[in-house]
Copies of this chain bind each other. A is one copy, B any other.
Amino acid sequence: METTVPGLMLDRETKASERPGDHKDELRLWLRMLTCSTLIETEIRNRLREEFKTTLPRFDLMAQLDKSSTGMTVGEVSQRLMVSNGNVTAVVAGLLADGLVDKRAATQDRRVQVLTLTAQGRKAFKAMAERHEGWIAELFAGLDQPEIAQLFRLLGQTKTSLHRAIAARALEAGKSEATRNEAGKNQADKGEA
Interface residue ranges, A against B (CB under 8 Å): 1, 15-18, 23-43, 46-47, 82, 133-134, 136-145, 147-152, 154-166, 169, 183, 186-187, 189-192
- Partner of A166 from the list B27, B35, B39 (CB cut-off 8 Å) is B39
A27 to B134, CA, bound (A): 9
**Copies per complex?**
2
Overall SS of chain A's interface: helix
Q: Once bound together, how far apart are the Cα atoms of A43 and B187, in whole Å?
A: 10
B142 touches A25 (CB 8 A): no
Q: Is the CB of A143 within 8 A of B157?
A: yes
**Are A33 and B33 in contact, with the CB atoms below 8 A?**
yes
Neighbour of A23 across the interface among B25, B39, B82, B134, CB < 8 A? B134
Contact with A154, one of B27, B38, B41, B143 (Cβ below 8 angstroms): B143
Query: Whose C-beta in chain B lies nearest to the C-beta of A134?
Result: B23
How many whole Å from A161's CB to the nearest CB in chain B? Answer: 3
- Contact flag A30-B34 (CB < 8 Å), given A140-B158, A141-B165: no
From known contacts A1-B141, A145-B17, A190-B34, infer whether A42 and B152 are also in contact, taking CB-CB under 8 Å.
no
